[in-house]
Structure 1
Amino acid sequence: MFNALEVFTTVVVGVMVGVEFSVLFIMNRILNALPEDSAQLGHAHGGRMLGTLMPFWYIGSCVLVAVWTITGWHHHGAGLALTAGALLILSVIMSLLLLVPINNRNRTWTPETRPADWKEQLDRWQRYHYVRVAVIIAAFTLLVAALV
Protein backbone atom coordinates (compact mmCIF):
# COMPACT_ATOMS: atom_id res chain seq x y z
CA MET A 1 0.00 0.00 0.00
CA PHE A 2 2.81 2.40 0.86
CA ASN A 3 4.48 1.75 -2.51
CA ALA A 4 1.22 2.61 -4.27
CA LEU A 5 1.08 5.90 -2.33
CA GLU A 6 4.64 6.73 -3.38
CA VAL A 7 3.97 6.01 -7.04
CA PHE A 8 0.58 7.78 -7.08
CA THR A 9 2.04 10.88 -5.41
CA THR A 10 4.96 10.96 -7.81
CA VAL A 11 2.65 10.66 -10.81
CA VAL A 12 0.30 13.41 -9.54
CA VAL A 13 3.22 15.79 -8.92
CA GLY A 14 4.87 14.79 -12.22
CA VAL A 15 1.76 15.52 -14.24
CA MET A 16 1.40 18.88 -12.45
CA VAL A 17 5.00 19.68 -13.37
CA GLY A 18 4.24 18.72 -16.97
CA VAL A 19 1.23 21.03 -17.12
CA GLU A 20 3.14 23.96 -15.62
CA PHE A 21 6.13 23.28 -17.89
CA SER A 22 3.78 23.26 -20.88
CA VAL A 23 2.20 26.55 -19.80
CA LEU A 24 5.64 28.11 -19.46
CA PHE A 25 7.35 26.88 -22.60
CA ILE A 26 4.50 26.09 -24.99
CA MET A 27 1.14 27.71 -24.22
CA ASN A 28 2.46 31.17 -23.37
CA ARG A 29 4.53 31.24 -26.56
CA ILE A 30 1.52 30.20 -28.62
CA LEU A 31 -0.69 32.82 -26.98
CA ASN A 32 1.93 35.54 -27.28
CA ALA A 33 2.20 34.86 -31.03
CA LEU A 34 -1.50 35.64 -31.55
CA PRO A 35 -2.68 39.13 -32.51
CA GLU A 36 -2.85 41.43 -29.47
CA ASP A 37 -6.54 41.11 -28.55
CA SER A 38 -6.52 37.36 -29.13
CA ALA A 39 -3.37 36.95 -27.05
CA GLN A 40 -4.83 38.88 -24.14
CA LEU A 41 -8.16 37.03 -24.35
CA GLY A 42 -6.33 33.69 -24.44
CA HIS A 43 -4.26 34.59 -21.39
CA ALA A 44 -7.42 35.66 -19.54
CA HIS A 45 -9.21 32.43 -20.42
CA GLY A 46 -6.20 30.34 -19.43
CA GLY A 47 -6.01 32.27 -16.17
CA ARG A 48 -9.64 31.49 -15.41
CA MET A 49 -9.39 27.82 -16.36
CA LEU A 50 -6.08 26.96 -14.72
CA GLY A 51 -6.69 29.39 -11.86
CA THR A 52 -9.67 27.24 -10.91
CA LEU A 53 -7.92 23.86 -11.23
CA MET A 54 -4.38 24.43 -10.01
CA PRO A 55 -5.09 25.35 -6.35
CA PHE A 56 -6.61 21.89 -5.82
CA TRP A 57 -3.68 20.26 -7.62
CA TYR A 58 -1.02 22.14 -5.66
CA ILE A 59 -2.69 21.63 -2.28
CA GLY A 60 -3.51 18.01 -3.12
CA SER A 61 0.14 17.41 -4.01
CA CYS A 62 1.25 18.89 -0.70
CA VAL A 63 -1.22 16.66 1.17
CA LEU A 64 -0.08 13.54 -0.69
CA VAL A 65 3.58 14.28 0.04
CA ALA A 66 2.75 14.95 3.70
CA VAL A 67 0.96 11.59 3.96
CA TRP A 68 3.91 9.90 2.23
CA THR A 69 6.37 11.54 4.63
CA ILE A 70 4.36 10.73 7.75
CA THR A 71 3.47 7.15 6.87
CA GLY A 72 6.92 6.40 5.51
CA TRP A 73 9.02 8.19 8.08
CA HIS A 74 11.05 5.05 8.79
CA HIS A 75 11.37 4.09 5.12
CA HIS A 76 14.22 4.94 2.80
CA GLY A 77 13.75 8.34 1.14
CA ALA A 78 11.61 9.98 3.83
CA GLY A 79 14.01 12.91 4.11
CA LEU A 80 13.85 13.45 0.36
CA ALA A 81 10.05 13.36 0.47
CA LEU A 82 10.06 15.84 3.36
CA THR A 83 12.29 18.21 1.39
CA ALA A 84 10.06 17.79 -1.68
CA GLY A 85 7.06 18.67 0.48
CA ALA A 86 8.81 21.80 1.74
CA LEU A 87 9.50 22.85 -1.85
CA LEU A 88 5.86 22.26 -2.81
CA ILE A 89 4.77 24.39 0.15
CA LEU A 90 7.20 27.07 -1.04
CA SER A 91 5.58 26.89 -4.51
CA VAL A 92 2.14 27.42 -2.94
CA ILE A 93 3.40 30.41 -0.95
CA MET A 94 5.02 31.85 -4.09
CA SER A 95 1.78 31.32 -5.96
CA LEU A 96 -0.32 33.07 -3.33
CA LEU A 97 2.03 36.01 -2.87
CA LEU A 98 3.34 36.57 -6.40
CA LEU A 99 1.38 34.82 -9.14
CA VAL A 100 -2.24 34.68 -7.97
CA PRO A 101 -2.63 38.47 -7.57
CA ILE A 102 -1.53 39.01 -11.17
CA ASN A 103 -3.65 36.11 -12.41
CA ASN A 104 -6.72 37.41 -10.55
CA ARG A 105 -6.41 40.72 -12.37
CA ASN A 106 -5.61 39.09 -15.73
CA ARG A 107 -8.58 36.73 -15.70
CA THR A 108 -11.02 39.66 -15.68
CA TRP A 109 -9.43 41.73 -18.44
CA THR A 110 -10.98 42.26 -21.82
CA PRO A 111 -9.51 44.30 -24.68
CA GLU A 112 -11.68 47.19 -23.47
CA THR A 113 -10.82 46.97 -19.76
CA ARG A 114 -7.20 45.83 -19.67
CA PRO A 115 -4.69 48.27 -18.20
CA ALA A 116 -2.06 49.93 -20.32
CA ASP A 117 0.67 47.85 -18.66
CA TRP A 118 -1.05 44.47 -19.16
CA LYS A 119 1.89 43.03 -21.11
CA GLU A 120 4.34 44.06 -18.40
CA GLN A 121 2.15 42.41 -15.76
CA LEU A 122 2.01 39.18 -17.77
CA ASP A 123 5.79 39.33 -18.26
CA ARG A 124 6.21 39.66 -14.48
CA TRP A 125 3.89 36.67 -13.98
CA GLN A 126 6.00 34.70 -16.47
CA ARG A 127 9.24 35.51 -14.62
CA TYR A 128 7.72 34.35 -11.32
CA HIS A 129 6.38 31.26 -13.06
CA TYR A 130 9.90 30.34 -14.26
CA VAL A 131 11.03 30.23 -10.63
CA ARG A 132 7.94 28.31 -9.51
CA VAL A 133 8.44 25.71 -12.24
CA ALA A 134 12.08 25.29 -11.18
CA VAL A 135 10.92 24.74 -7.58
CA ILE A 136 8.33 22.11 -8.50
CA ILE A 137 10.76 20.36 -10.85
CA ALA A 138 13.18 20.13 -7.92
CA ALA A 139 10.39 18.72 -5.73
CA PHE A 140 9.46 16.16 -8.39
CA THR A 141 13.12 15.16 -8.79
CA LEU A 142 13.39 14.58 -5.04
CA LEU A 143 10.27 12.42 -5.07
CA VAL A 144 11.67 10.30 -7.91
CA ALA A 145 14.96 9.97 -6.03
CA ALA A 146 13.04 8.92 -2.89
CA LEU A 147 11.51 6.04 -4.86
CA VAL A 148 14.88 4.44 -5.61
Structure 2
Amino acid sequence: MLDALEIVTTVVVGLMVGVEFAVAFVMNPIFKALPDDASQMAQSHGGRMLGAAMPVWYIGSLVLSAVWAVAGRHHDGVGLVVTAAGLLVLSVVMSLLLLVPINNRNKTWTPETRPADWKEQIDRWNRYHYVRVAVIIAAFTLLVAALA
Protein backbone atom coordinates (compact mmCIF):
# COMPACT_ATOMS: atom_id res chain seq x y z
CA MET A 1 0.00 0.00 0.00
CA LEU A 2 2.84 2.39 0.82
CA ASP A 3 4.38 1.70 -2.59
CA ALA A 4 1.16 2.76 -4.33
CA LEU A 5 0.96 5.94 -2.21
CA GLU A 6 4.57 6.80 -3.07
CA ILE A 7 3.96 6.36 -6.77
CA VAL A 8 0.65 8.25 -6.83
CA THR A 9 2.14 11.12 -4.84
CA THR A 10 5.19 11.36 -7.06
CA VAL A 11 3.11 11.29 -10.24
CA VAL A 12 0.62 13.90 -8.95
CA VAL A 13 3.40 16.26 -7.85
CA GLY A 14 5.37 15.61 -11.04
CA LEU A 15 2.39 16.47 -13.22
CA MET A 16 1.80 19.64 -11.21
CA VAL A 17 5.44 20.62 -11.72
CA GLY A 18 5.08 20.00 -15.44
CA VAL A 19 2.00 22.20 -15.74
CA GLU A 20 3.53 25.02 -13.71
CA PHE A 21 6.81 24.77 -15.64
CA ALA A 22 4.87 24.99 -18.91
CA VAL A 23 2.97 28.04 -17.65
CA ALA A 24 6.21 29.78 -16.68
CA PHE A 25 8.39 28.92 -19.64
CA VAL A 26 5.97 28.21 -22.50
CA MET A 27 2.54 29.78 -22.08
CA ASN A 28 3.45 33.09 -20.43
CA PRO A 29 6.14 33.93 -23.01
CA ILE A 30 3.60 33.17 -25.74
CA PHE A 31 1.00 35.38 -24.04
CA LYS A 32 3.54 38.17 -23.57
CA ALA A 33 4.37 38.13 -27.31
CA LEU A 34 0.74 38.74 -28.29
CA PRO A 35 -0.71 42.22 -28.88
CA ASP A 36 -1.77 43.87 -25.61
CA ASP A 37 -5.51 43.11 -25.78
CA ALA A 38 -4.97 39.47 -26.76
CA SER A 39 -2.19 39.09 -24.19
CA GLN A 40 -4.31 40.45 -21.37
CA MET A 41 -7.34 38.37 -22.37
CA ALA A 42 -5.20 35.21 -22.55
CA GLN A 43 -3.73 35.97 -19.11
CA SER A 44 -7.23 36.52 -17.68
CA HIS A 45 -8.57 33.33 -19.20
CA GLY A 46 -5.57 31.35 -17.95
CA GLY A 47 -6.04 32.87 -14.52
CA ARG A 48 -9.67 31.79 -14.40
CA MET A 49 -9.01 28.30 -15.74
CA LEU A 50 -5.90 27.40 -13.76
CA GLY A 51 -7.06 29.43 -10.76
CA ALA A 52 -9.88 26.92 -10.38
CA ALA A 53 -7.78 23.77 -10.81
CA MET A 54 -4.46 24.52 -9.14
CA PRO A 55 -5.64 25.01 -5.53
CA VAL A 56 -6.99 21.45 -5.52
CA TRP A 57 -3.77 20.19 -7.07
CA TYR A 58 -1.50 22.03 -4.62
CA ILE A 59 -3.48 21.01 -1.54
CA GLY A 60 -3.88 17.45 -2.86
CA SER A 61 -0.12 17.20 -3.44
CA LEU A 62 0.56 18.46 0.06
CA VAL A 63 -1.93 16.03 1.63
CA LEU A 64 -0.53 13.07 -0.31
CA SER A 65 3.01 14.01 0.76
CA ALA A 66 1.95 14.38 4.39
CA VAL A 67 0.20 11.00 4.33
CA TRP A 68 3.31 9.45 2.78
CA ALA A 69 5.48 11.00 5.51
CA VAL A 70 3.24 9.60 8.25
CA ALA A 71 2.72 6.19 6.65
CA GLY A 72 6.42 5.84 5.87
CA ARG A 73 7.76 7.28 9.11
CA HIS A 74 9.77 4.13 9.83
CA HIS A 75 11.19 3.81 6.31
CA ASP A 76 14.32 5.18 4.72
CA GLY A 77 13.85 8.53 3.00
CA VAL A 78 11.15 9.85 5.31
CA GLY A 79 13.26 12.95 5.98
CA LEU A 80 13.23 13.72 2.28
CA VAL A 81 9.45 13.33 2.16
CA VAL A 82 8.98 15.57 5.20
CA THR A 83 11.22 18.22 3.62
CA ALA A 84 9.30 17.92 0.33
CA ALA A 85 6.03 18.37 2.23
CA GLY A 86 7.52 21.45 3.91
CA LEU A 87 8.39 22.88 0.52
CA LEU A 88 4.85 22.19 -0.67
CA VAL A 89 3.56 24.07 2.39
CA LEU A 90 5.83 26.95 1.37
CA SER A 91 4.42 26.84 -2.18
CA VAL A 92 0.85 27.03 -0.84
CA VAL A 93 1.71 29.93 1.47
CA MET A 94 3.47 31.74 -1.39
CA SER A 95 0.44 31.16 -3.59
CA LEU A 96 -2.00 32.52 -1.01
CA LEU A 97 0.05 35.55 -0.03
CA LEU A 98 1.72 36.55 -3.30
CA LEU A 99 0.17 35.01 -6.39
CA VAL A 100 -3.55 34.58 -5.68
CA PRO A 101 -4.21 38.27 -4.94
CA ILE A 102 -2.73 39.26 -8.31
CA ASN A 103 -4.52 36.43 -10.09
CA ASN A 104 -7.86 37.36 -8.50
CA ARG A 105 -7.55 40.86 -9.94
CA ASN A 106 -6.20 39.68 -13.29
CA LYS A 107 -8.97 37.18 -13.99
CA THR A 108 -11.60 39.93 -13.88
CA TRP A 109 -9.86 42.33 -16.26
CA THR A 110 -10.96 43.05 -19.78
CA PRO A 111 -9.25 45.33 -22.30
CA GLU A 112 -11.70 48.03 -21.19
CA THR A 113 -11.30 47.57 -17.42
CA ARG A 114 -7.67 46.62 -16.91
CA PRO A 115 -5.60 49.02 -14.81
CA ALA A 116 -2.81 51.10 -16.30
CA ASP A 117 -0.19 48.98 -14.49
CA TRP A 118 -1.57 45.61 -15.63
CA LYS A 119 1.69 44.61 -17.32
CA GLU A 120 3.69 45.37 -14.18
CA GLN A 121 1.27 43.28 -12.11
CA ILE A 122 1.57 40.37 -14.55
CA ASP A 123 5.37 40.68 -14.49
CA ARG A 124 5.30 40.60 -10.67
CA TRP A 125 3.10 37.48 -10.75
CA ASN A 126 5.57 35.86 -13.17
CA ARG A 127 8.54 36.61 -10.91
CA TYR A 128 6.77 35.06 -7.92
CA HIS A 129 5.72 32.13 -10.09
CA TYR A 130 9.34 31.43 -11.11
CA VAL A 131 10.27 31.13 -7.44
CA ARG A 132 7.25 28.91 -6.76
CA VAL A 133 8.21 26.67 -9.69
CA ALA A 134 11.72 26.31 -8.24
CA VAL A 135 10.21 25.38 -4.86
CA ILE A 136 7.94 22.69 -6.28
CA ILE A 137 10.72 21.32 -8.50
CA ALA A 138 12.82 20.94 -5.35
CA ALA A 139 9.90 19.18 -3.60
CA PHE A 140 9.43 16.84 -6.56
CA THR A 141 13.15 16.09 -6.67
CA LEU A 142 13.12 15.15 -2.98
CA LEU A 143 10.13 12.85 -3.48
CA VAL A 144 11.90 11.10 -6.36
CA ALA A 145 15.04 10.78 -4.26
CA ALA A 146 12.97 9.28 -1.43
CA LEU A 147 11.86 6.53 -3.82
CA ALA A 148 15.47 5.53 -4.53
Aligned runs of 1:73-112 on 2, under 5 Å?
A: 73-112=73-112
SS at match of 1:63: helix
- Counterparts of 2:49 and 2:81, CA distance in 1: 29
What is the aligned partner in structure 2 of residue 12 from structure 1?
12
> Runs (4+) of structure 1 moved beyond 2 Å?
none
Percent identity reads 74
Amino acid at match of 1:8: V
What is the RMSD computed on CA atoms of the aligned residues?
A: 0.4
What is the aligned partner in structure 1 of residue 113 from structure 2?
113
1:136 to 2:129 alignment: no
Structure 2 unaligned residues grouped into runs of 5+: none
User: What is the TM-score of this pair, normalised by structure 1?
Assistant: 0.99
- Counterparts of 1:135 and 1:95, CA distance in 2: 11
Per-residue deviation, 1:143 = 0.1
Per-residue deviation, residues 14-47 of structure 1 (Å, max 9, x unmatched): 0000000000000001111111100000000000
User: What is the TM-score of this pair, normalised by structure 2?
Assistant: 0.99
What is the aligned partner in structure 2 of residue 146 from structure 1?
146
Q: How many residues are paired up?
A: 148
Aligned runs of 1:26-45 on 2, under 5 Å?
A: 26-45=26-45
SS at match of 2:130: helix
